[in-house]
Structure 1
Amino acid sequence: MRLLKTLVASAFALLAVAENTVDEKASMEKRFVSFHDGIQLAAAPITLNDDAFKKLTAAPRDFTVAVLLTAQGARFGCQLCREFQPEWELTARNWAKGDKAGEARLLFATLDFAEGRDTFITLGLQTAPVLLLYPPTHGPHAVTSRDPKRFDFNSGPPAAEQVHAWIVSYLPGRPHPTFQRPINYLRWASAITALAGVATLAYTAGPYLLPIIQNRQVWATGTMIAILLFISGHMFNHIRKVPYVSSDGKGGVTYIAPGFQNQYGLETQIVATLYGIMSFCTIALVTRVPRIANRRTQTLTALAIVAVMFVTNSFILRIFRIKNSGYPFSTPPFM
């Protein structure tokens, strides 16, 4: 008799566990379907508040949740949030279009700080945006660690392709849609219009522009300007973002940066001007002076040009000595 009671009690316990399991699965499925239908209807991530966030990420959960915690309001000044939002919506829209049946068991959602301040505080978040991926806690795809995965925004706003690949990396063994960026018809139309405009301009203005393009003097001038820009450190300034000038610590301004590994913007312009003067003098000596008919005028002109070159070269060497006092060369008048 006692054995019979034990068996009956065990049977009722197993039945209760089975009913709870069925109810639990039904609850998870109902929750997934309701949110999934919302994503399919809007073709965009679900917009959450604090309560909806708790409901969506609560355990037990047999589906994955990708949540973007952002701060879109102008008062927050989150430029990265505004730049990334279109890519995030594109990722969710692409997934919703490619996985209409929800076979991947993945949901996309967005929680703005204005609607989810308590959630930000609970998670200890002090910056935005933050992209979290909550893995399933139950079912065939459940993982041992329930902690959400966090996307790294340190390299700036990522493209939708990067976010898609990151999410897929945490969905092993699950079907997932391939990412396809939609065709930007406006960009194509703009490119075709611009190409047609260039072709029309080339056809109508070609007879007038061709002699200019084929002119050796034009190419020589452009080449000289490019050479002067590059040898004076123009690219260095753009790469290093150097200041234009600097303070000397005594209320004055320093135009020349000490050391051969540093320079200022104005310093580059000074050096380019000096090199330009020397280039002009060299060209004048080679091309202009020989054409002067009067021998006396020719000699005086040549001497004047050489004197300008000598003084300019002395100034350049003086700049080298300012940058490095150990530089051994100098010529008068700038010793």
Structure 2
Amino acid sequence: MLFLSYLTALLCTAGAAFAAKPKVDKFERFQSLSHGGAIDLNDKTYNELTVAPRDYFTAVLLTAIDSRFGCVLCREFQPEWDIIARSWNKGQVEDINMVFGTLDFTDGKETFKSLMLQTAPVVLVFPPSTGPYASADGPFSFEFTGPISADQLYNWINRHLPEGPKPRIVRPINYVRIGSGITLFLGIITVFTVASPYILPVLQNRNIWAGISLIAVLLFTSGHMFNHIRKVPYIAGDGRGGISYFAGGFSNQFGMETQIIAAIYGVLSFATIALALKVPRMSDNKSQQVAVVIWGVVLLGVYSFLLSVFRVKNGGYPFFLPPF
């Protein structure tokens, strides 16, 4: 009898001890599974995480990362979602409890079916069902219409959270990009140092810069940018079986027309430069006279052709110059 009394007392004490053992908090249990990021969910854990009662906020990404599903947006956004989850868990605020989870279609087919989801990714935010922030609204759904950043989605999530300080987004340091940038910078310095004796004379040559400037001026004054903005045709038919190189009207032009006008301006420029700079330096008088006549004829003929082009563009243009 004495043994039975001791055994009964021992069992009662053990039972009381087990009964007094505190129940593990639901939020703390899921936080322990997160390992600083989003929890990988399946149908069972998704239901456990989102079912009432819960005294915490929940944000769940429903995605389909497997290449079999062809969801490029899912794979592109996954690193951004991990940044949001890690940033929140790292800077967790005491007043707002929140759990982040990720449910892939492979592990959550029943959940996708019950939610009648036809596309992915989708983010759901569940407010608490108990506690000071309890709400009967929700879940709130964010459907993607294109690529977005972690900051954009994080701002949307914060709109469904109580007022107050929130953890800020902290992106991991991209050491590969930093290393690549340093390597590229050092490579540029090395190349410039080795090639500077050959490059500097070219960069300091006034004739080269004058040529580049002249080409740029001819290119843009002839309407090159107009062609890119308006997407004009290169040439067009004249309605009689021939080809029209010039479009009628000063607000229209063809791609070939731009090249012809640039060539005309180029010839006129070189003729003027030759008459102003090259011809006066010629020592032989006869050669100088011949050069003046030749460049003068070129200048007259090309400028006359340019005026005729203006008359083609606008029949009311009043000026002309022989021979055109």
TM over 0.5: yes
**Could you tell me which of 171, 174, 185 is aligned with 1:181?**
171
Q: CA deviation at 1:277?
A: 0.8
Distance 1:302 1:262, change over 3 A: closer
**Could you tell me which of 140, 143, 159 is aligned with 1:148?**
140
Letter in 2 for 1:72: I
What is the match of residue 84 of structure 1?
77
Q: CA deviation at 1:89?
A: 1.2
Distance 1:262 1:211, change over 3 A: same
What is the match of residue 195 of structure 2?
205
For 1:257 and 1:57, the matched residues in 2 are separated by 68
For 2:75 and 2:289, the matched residues in 1 are separated by 72
Pairing 1:127-166 to 2, within 5 Å after superposition: 127-150=119-142, 153-154=144-145, 156-166=146-156
Q: Secondary structure at the residue paired with 1:109?
A: strand
Distance 1:109 1:200, change over 3 A: same
Letter in 1 for 2:210: A
For 2:252 and 2:173, the matched residues in 1 are separated by 46
Once superposed, what is the RMSD of the aligned Cα atoms? 4.0
What is the match of residue 11 of structure 1?
none
For 2:270 and 2:170, the matched residues in 1 are separated by 60
1:112 aligns with 2:104: yes
What is the match of residue 57 of structure 1?
50
Deviation digits for residues 134-155 of structure 1, max 9, x if unmatched?
Answer: 211221111241332426x44x
1:66 aligns with 2:59: yes
What is the match of residue 271 of structure 2?
285
For 2:86 and 2:71, the matched residues in 1 are separated by 23
**Could you tell me which of 186, 192, 196 is aligned with 2:182?**
192
Q: CA deviation at 1:189?
A: 1.9
Q: Which runs of 5+ in 2 are unaligned?
A: 1-22, 238-242, 280-286
1:96 aligns with 2:80: no
Q: CA deviation at 1:316?
A: 7.2
The answer (yes or no) to whether the contact 2:129–2:135 under 8 Å persists in 1 is yes
Deviation digits for residues 314-333 of structure 1, max 9, x if unmatched?
Answer: 55775x57xxxxx855999x
Letter in 1 for 2:274: R
Q: CA deviation at 1:204?
A: 2.5
Distance 1:147 1:97, change over 3 A: closer
- Give me the TM-score of the superposition, normalised by structure 2: 0.70
The answer (yes or no) to whether the contact 1:274–1:312 under 8 Å persists in 2 is no
Q: CA deviation at 1:284?
A: 0.9
Q: CA deviation at 1:107?
A: 1.3
1:302 aligns with 2:296: yes
Distance 1:271 1:262, change over 3 A: closer
Pairing 1:255-294 to 2, within 5 Å after superposition: 267-268=254-255, 270-290=256-276, 291-292=278-279, 293-294=287-288
What is the match of residue 6 of structure 1?
none
Q: CA deviation at 1:132?
A: 2.1
Deviation digits for residues 126-181 of structure 1, max 9, x if unmatched?
Answer: 33322222211221111241332426x44x42222333333233222465322222
Distance 1:162 1:301, change over 3 A: same
Letter in 1 for 2:138: R
Q: Secondary structure at the residue paired with 1:82?
A: helix
Q: Secondary structure at the residue paired with 2:131?
A: coil
For 2:113 and 2:236, the matched residues in 1 are separated by 44
Q: Across the two proteins, how many residue pairs are aligned to each other?
A: 287
For 2:232 and 2:192, the matched residues in 1 are separated by 41
The answer (yes or no) to whether the contact 1:314–1:330 under 8 Å persists in 2 is no
Max Rg structure: 2
For 2:251 and 2:134, the matched residues in 1 are separated by 56
For 1:71 and 1:247, the matched residues in 2 are separated by 51
The answer (yes or no) to whether the contact 2:310–2:317 under 8 Å persists in 1 is no
Letter in 2 for 1:39: S
For 1:123 and 1:133, the matched residues in 2 are separated by 14
Q: CA deviation at 1:125?
A: 3.1
Distance 1:195 1:172, change over 3 A: same
Q: Which runs of 5+ in 1 are unaligned?
A: 1-25, 322-326
The answer (yes or no) to whether the contact 2:64–2:74 under 8 Å persists in 1 is yes
> What's the % identity of the aligned pairs?
37
Q: CA deviation at 1:195?
A: 1.8
Letter in 2 for 1:182: P
The answer (yes or no) to whether the contact 2:55–2:129 under 8 Å persists in 1 is yes
